[in-house]
Amino acid sequence: MLKIRSCMITNGAFKLHADLDIEAASSVAVIGPSGAGKSTLLEAIAGFRDITDGRVSWNGHDLTNLAPGKRPIAMLFQDGNLFPHLTAEQNAALGLRPSGKLSRAEHLQVKAALERVGLAGMEARKPAHLSGGQQNRVALARVLLQHRDLLLLDEPFAALGPALKAEMLDLVAELVAETGTTLLMVSHDPQDARRITRKALLVADGTAHPLADTTQLLNNPPPALSAYLGTNQTH
Amino acid sequence: MKHLLIAAGLLTATSAMAAEKPQLTVYTYDSFVSDWGPGPKAEEAFEAVCNCDLKLVGVEDGAALLSRIRLEGENSEADIVLGLDTNLIETAKKTGLFTPHAVEADYTLPIEWADDTFVPYDWGYFAFVHKAGVDAPSSFRELADSDRKILIQDPRSSTPGLGLLLWIKSAYGDEANDIWADLSDNIVTVTKGWSEAYGLFLDGEADMVLSYTTSPAYHLIAEEDDSKTTATFDEGHYMQIEVAAKLAGTNQSELADQFLNFMVSDAFQTIIPTTNWMYPSVTPVGGLPEGFNSLKVPAKALFFSPEEAVSARSEALPEWLEALSQ
Amino acid sequence: MARSTQPVSTVPGLAAACVVAALILGTLAAVAFRAEAGHGFLFADWAALRFTLTQAILSSIISVVLAVPVARALSRRRFAGRRVLIALLGAPFILPVIVAILGLLQVFGRSGWISELLAQFGAPPIRIYGMHGVVLAHVFFNLPLATRLILQGWQEVPSERFRLAAQLGCEGRSLFRLIELPMLARIVPGVAAVIFAICLTSFAVALTLGGGPRATTVELAIYQAFTYDFDLGRAALLSGLQLVLTAAAAFTALKLSREGGFGAGLDRTIHRWDGGAPIVDAIWIILAAVFLLLPLSAVVMSGLEGLFTMPPVVFKAALISVAVAAASTAILLMLALPMAATIAVRRHGLVELSGILGLAASPLVIGTGLFIIIRPVADPTSLALPVTALVNATMALPFALRILVPAAQDTVLRHGRLALSLNMKGRVFFTRILIPRMRAQIGFAAGLSAALSMGDLGVIALFADPEFATLPLQIYRLMGAYKMQAAAGGALLLLVLSMTVFWILDRGGRWHVED
């Protein structure tokens, strides 16, 4: 279980308060108006933001002062998820070993992971020679190899077309189900949230609210959310 | 590893061999030790007679050389300093780092030499070099009144530059600053050292360049080119005398004496004209090389004693700055 | 805690900066402590200081102001010979001072090519000597450097930004304001500060082109204090003054230059869609090329004959110079890479400052200081080559940092977060991400440093070992022995060697700069 206990997250003048629990192996959508602090929340959990007050723990282990790479967390950002000078295989391999020096067995693991995300035969390509969807698949292969308990998605698929995005989300759903990973996913699109999460947490008015049922939250949005979603958005 | 051991063995062997012979360290200016200077030949000739290892260390120029010795002070590695000129002797003496010599020689200098510490090994007259076959001025006055363009060196950074400063001071005394003021429109530019000025002159940047009366000898002998000559000035020409001396702190005192005596002998003096392009301080038995005899010889030699040179410099330098900074 | 989380440690960079600061300030202190009672600051020094500052400020401003349009033109035009031209841009900078002076005056002098051309029409020769001559010479040396550094800035703008601008129909002035001005604001102040520092220590060039003692610089006063007056205290004082002035310029530049990179790009080949006026660009490129290449061709032409009269020792000297340049470049990278990484994660005053002081430190003071420090423990002459390599590396450091720091900042900004989330830190981030991402800049910096080391007389003259003379020293010796033609040949050899070394290292590093 991920416990966020009376946390104060600061980003310049911006402050976000969070106090909530997330069950292990659940999939949670993070929704809320633009600029409410959804990304900030994820970055704080991943260790990229100062937590000025409170604690974050995972399964009883305190994460608050741990370096990002030491946390049981994999994260995909809005962009820049791959290193442009490394091939698909080298990028994915970073999930196993940051040094990139792999044993033969690990090589096979990387190959398998790339195959699992549908990139067999593209191991030697660099990001500039992959499509947007393929680039995301490489990043997901790396997430697979990272074997982390938590996966945080900060809208990495925002740039993809609807069909492709749905395909990627389904792939994510499959992967987290296979591995029992806990998923936190920022989303702008209620469809995305409905597609792969049961639970949702609302970030609005400087607070990350406790979890609610995704469908219920989207169907009966509180005022802050309904203004953002638009009145016709609820169905 | 094996190779390293062998190399180390060889090194020890050579240094052991060297250690058997006493070493004499001579500090001099860089152009002396260069492959085209007197250094290599002088080293060979001295080592043939001394049963010693002569180590030459080059330091930029005469002024820098004296600074190096002052920097190192009493525990300098140098046994001999070779390459100061008469304008530096007074300052050098005041350091107390040098010791008197026991050299006696029949100097062929235009002036009497009686210094007990410094031994002259070559000398020359400062002069303006110009293309042969072109009328040249015969005095500073005439030069200043003409539209001839000259290249000179800065007295603050160059030996010939300082030589010119003292030349005009010795010829004109209190009127020196008027001469400088009149010369200022003849001066194309002032360079840091001799090489820049001479290079620019050869490129045709000016009619005349400050150098030595012996400079045409280089072109004549080394390049078989008689197109360069010097202008003879009625006021006379200032002399540069280059000297060497033994350091008081030497631990090779006898060897140092031997070197100073060797320096005024034929073996050394015959090397000087065609490597340093100066007159030897003791004309060798065989005379001067062909080419030196056709050089122009000033009718009058101008010279400040070492003591006079120091005060003349401190007086003339501000005048020079003033006159040329207008 | 997040604030202190960075993919690279600042410790190695700080350590490298301390080494550099210790070298520069330690040698200054060594000289100062060795001083006997002297004159201190003289009235004449005020005039020297005023002249030094005036020419350095003018030279740096004019160099960067001219470099901007030239770099802009080069960044958006593709033409045959462009690569060669860009490589040749490095050449004036690496010439030994004396060779550059002779080359410049063969073009701009009283009897230079231009004056001869004017004489055909009955016009008087141009008057090159004076403040304008000093500035002309310094622009000749530094315009190419400024152009290369600013061009590098243009090439580091991700091609995505230009694509976006093209899509927005953004051209000419508005493109300049949107993309180019912010880039220039980040890069130009640092470049100007570096050039200011170089010109601050000018001596032979300023004196010769300045036409006489009006053009007395502080460095000349230092030289005089060292040699004729043996006034070490005055030398240290004046050198300290140069350091303070450079530090002031560096801090001003830091204040003026803005932080921040251009965000992520995907290594697409730089491609620009804005047309601009081809004729204007062409004029800038041609003017710059003519200005820089004429004196160079004078050097080449005088050297051609001399090539065949060069004695064999010149080739030995060339080998020694290549070895010194290689050692110097290795030292440079060991210092510059950690320092660039440190500045990239957190701007650090000490690191930034020691990165520029190398230029302002008088070579005479560094050399003499090292001599004083080394002498009690070892024979300075036997250490001549290592010491020369070290000092040359320090002198190249400011250029290397100007080249490396923006790239290091961008790399940390673009990839730091992802690397951290993958637990890539320290050495792994350094070798796997930072160095590969900065390959182009490392190649450029290494090439420039090697070429600079090849051409610089450095401190070798103070330590000279007759057996191991470098090529510049042999060139000076040839000149001192009246062998001007052979010296010109040596200078041509040096030019060709330096350009080759520069070309190899620079090409080795570049992969997306050219299409």
| Nearest-neighbour CA in chain C from B101: distance (Å) | 25
B72 within 8 A of C375, measured Cβ to Cβ = yes
Residue identified by tokens 């900078």 is C93
Largest CA distance in chain B: 75
The closest of A189, A191, A188, A186 to A201, measured between CA atoms, is A186
Helix then strand then coil, % of chain A, to nearest 5: 40, 25, 35
Inspect the interface and report whether the beta carbons of A69 and C425 lie closer than 8 Å.
yes
For residue C425, what pLDDT is reported? Answer: 75
Inspect the interface and report whether the beta carbons of B67 and C230 lie closer than 8 Å.
yes
C55 within 8 A of C398, measured Cβ to Cβ = no
Which positions ≥6 away from A52 have C-beta within 8 Å? A8, A9, A10
Q: Tell me the residue type at A103.
A: S
The two tokens of residue B129 are: 């070099």
Contacts of C5 in chain A (CB under 8 A): 47-48, 67-68
Beta-carbon count within 10 A of B173 CB:
11
Pairing of strands A150-154, A182-186: parallel
Rounded Cα distance between C257 and C356, Å, is: 15
A107 by Cβ neighbours in 10 Å (0-12 / 13-18 / 19+) ranks as middle
Buried b or exposed e, range C246-255, using 16+ CB within 10 angstroms: bbebbeebbe
Which positions ≥6 away from A204 have C-beta within 8 Å? A32, A33, A36, A222, A224, A225
CA distances from A171 to A140, A147, A157, A162, C165 (A): 9, 16, 12, 14, 35
Inspect the interface and report whether the beta carbons of C227 and B154 lie closer than 8 Å.
no
Which of the four pLDDT bands, split at 50, 70 and 90, describes residue C270? low
C324 within 8 A of C453, measured Cβ to Cβ = yes
Best B15, B28, B31, B35 residue to mutate vs chain C (most C CBs within 10 Å): B35
Inspect the interface and report whether the beta carbons of B187 and C212 lie closer than 8 Å.
yes
- Chain C CB within 8 Å of residue B94 CB: no
Inspect the interface and report whether the beta carbons of A84 and C3 lie closer than 8 Å.
no
- Chain B CB within 8 Å of residue C205 CB: no
Which of the four pLDDT bands, split at 50, 70 and 90, describes residue C232? confident
B18 within 8 A of B53, measured Cβ to Cβ = yes
Least confident of C135-144, C244-253, C271-280: C271-280
Phi, psi of B51 (to 5 degrees): 50, 50
Q: What is the DSSP letter of C179?
A: I
| Nearest-neighbour CA in chain B from C229: distance (Å) | 8
pLDDT above 90 covers a percentage of chain A that reads: 12
Phi, psi of C468 (to 5 degrees): -120, 70
Residue identified by tokens 């026991």 is B102
Inspect the interface and report whether the beta carbons of C420 and A48 lie closer than 8 Å.
yes
Q: What is the 3-state secondary structure (H, E, C) of C68-127?
A: HHHHHHHHHCCCCCHHHHHHHCCHHHHCCHHHHHHHHHHHHCCCCHHHHHHHHCCCCCCC
Pairing of strands A27-31, A182-186: parallel
| Nearest-neighbour CA in chain C from A75: distance (Å) | 7
Name residues 289-328 of chain C within 8 A of B (Cβ): 302, 311, 313
Q: Assign B302 to helix, strand or coil.
A: strand
C83 within 8 A of C95, measured Cβ to Cβ = no
For residue C182, what pLDDT is reported? Answer: 80
The closest of C240, C143, C151 to C199, measured between CA atoms, is C143
The closest of B239, B215, B235, B212 to B227, measured between CA atoms, is B215
Least confident of B313-317, C90-94, C193-197, C481-485: C90-94
CATH number of A2-72+150-233: 3.40.50.300
Rounded Cα distance between C69 and C65, Å, is: 8
The closest of C392, C80, C356 to C198, measured between CA atoms, is C356
Residue A232 pLDDT exceeds 80: no
The closest of C129, C138, C137 to C211, measured between CA atoms, is C129
Q: What is the DSSP letter of A31?
A: E
For residue B148, what pLDDT is reported? Answer: 95
Pairing of strands B119-131, B279-280: antiparallel
Encode chain B (326 residues) as per-residue pLDDT tens digits: 445 444 444 444 445 455 578 999 999 998 899 888 999 999 999 999 999 999 998 888 888 899 889 988 888 889 999 999 999 999 999 999 999 998 999 999 999 998 999 999 999 999 999 999 999 999 999 999 999 999 999 999 899 999 999 999 999 999 999 999 999 999 999 999 999 999 999 999 999 999 999 999 999 999 999 999 999 999 999 999 999 999 999 999 999 999 999 999 999 999 999 999 999 999 999 999 988 999 999 999 999 999 999 999 999 999 999 898 86
Average pLDDT rounded to a whole number, residues C336-361: 82
Of the CA atoms within 13 Å of residue A41, those in its CB half-sphere come to 33
Best A43, A94, A154 residue to mutate vs chain C (most C CBs within 10 Å): A94
Residue C158 pLDDT exceeds 80: no
- Chain C CB within 8 Å of residue A83 CB: yes
Inspect the interface and report whether the beta carbons of C266 and A95 lie closer than 8 Å.
no
B194 within 8 A of B164, measured Cβ to Cβ = no
Neighbours of chain A (3+ CB pairs under 8 A): C
Best C421, C425, C429, C437 residue to mutate vs chain A (most A CBs within 10 Å): C421
- C483 vs B36, B60, B184: nearest CB: B36
The two tokens of residue B10 are: 């060889």
Q: Tell me the residue type at A228.
A: Y
Phi, psi of B84 (to 5 degrees): -80, 160
CA B319, B323, B324: angle at the middle one, nearest 5? 120
| Nearest-neighbour CA in chain C from A48: distance (Å) | 5
CA C420, C423, C429: angle at the middle one, nearest 5? 75
Inspect the interface and report whether the beta carbons of A48 and C2 lie closer than 8 Å.
yes
| Nearest-neighbour CA in chain C from A51: distance (Å) | 8
Q: Where are the beta strands (DSSP E) in C199-249?
A: none
For residue C108, what pLDDT is reported? Answer: 92
Contacts of A47 in chain C (CB under 8 A): 1-2, 5, 420
Inspect the interface and report whether the beta carbons of B325 and C466 lie closer than 8 Å.
no
C142 within 8 A of C248, measured Cβ to Cβ = no
Q: Which domains does chain C have, with CATH numbers?
A: 2-509 (1.10.3720.10)
Contacts of C9 in chain A (CB under 8 A): none
- B64 vs C110, C214, C227: nearest CB: C227
Identify the closest residue of chain C to B323 by CA–CA distance: C213
Rounded Cα distance between C419 and C404, Å, is: 20
Alpha helix positions (H), C309-421 = 313-345, 349-360, 363-374, 384-421
Name residues 212-241 of chain C within 8 A of B (Cβ): 212-214, 216, 220, 223-224, 226-228, 230, 232
Pairing of strands B150-153, A51-58: unpaired
- The DSSP H or E segment spanning A220 is none
Q: What is the DSSP letter of B252?
A: -
The closest of C315, C363, C305, C310 to C470, measured between CA atoms, is C315
Average pLDDT rounded to a whole number, residues C95-105: 85
User: Do chains A and C meet with 3 or more Cβ pairs nearer than 8 Å?
Assistant: yes
Rounded Cα distance between C471 and C494, Å, is: 7
C299 within 8 A of C92, measured Cβ to Cβ = no
The two tokens of residue A152 are: 């945080």
Residue C119 pLDDT exceeds 70: yes
* A83-128 per-position pLDDT tens digit: 888 889 988 988 888 777 889 999 999 999 999 888 888 989 988 8
Rounded Cα distance between B72 and C461, Å, is: 17
Best A11, A51, A83 residue to mutate vs chain C (most C CBs within 10 Å): A83
Contacts of C437 in chain A (CB under 8 A): 83, 85
**Cα dihedral across residues C223, C224, C229, C232: positive or negative:** negative
Q: Rank B241-245, B291-295, C179-183, C205-209 by mean pLDDT and report only the highest.
A: B241-245
Name residues 155-214 of chain B within 8 A of C (Cβ): 156-157, 162, 184, 187-196, 198-200, 202-206
The two tokens of residue C222 are: 């230092």
B158 within 8 A of B194, measured Cβ to Cβ = yes
Q: What is the DSSP letter of A88?
A: H
For residue C512, what pLDDT is reported? Answer: 45
C215 within 8 A of C51, measured Cβ to Cβ = yes
- Chain A CB within 8 Å of residue C167 CB: no
Pairing of strands A150-154, A14-22: unpaired
Rounded Cα distance between C176 and C69, Å, is: 11
A31 within 8 A of A202, measured Cβ to Cβ = yes
Beta-carbon count within 10 A of C33 CB:
12
Phi, psi of B123 (to 5 degrees): -160, 165
| Nearest-neighbour CA in chain B from C206: distance (Å) | 9
Contacts of A48 in chain C (CB under 8 A): 2, 5, 417, 420
Residue A224 pLDDT exceeds 60: yes
| Nearest-neighbour CA in chain C from B104: distance (Å) | 30
Name residues 404-433 of chain C within 8 A of A (Cβ): 414-415, 417-425, 428-429, 432-433
Name residues 141-200 of chain C within 8 A of B (Cβ): none
Which positions ≥6 away from A65 have C-beta within 8 Å? C1
Rounded Cα distance between B33 and B40, Å, is: 7
**What string of DSSP letters covers C317-345?**
HHHHHHHHHHHHHHHHHHHHHHHHHHHHH
Q: Which domains does chain B have, with CATH numbers?
A: 19-123+241-280 (3.40.190.10), 124-239+296-324 (3.40.190.10)
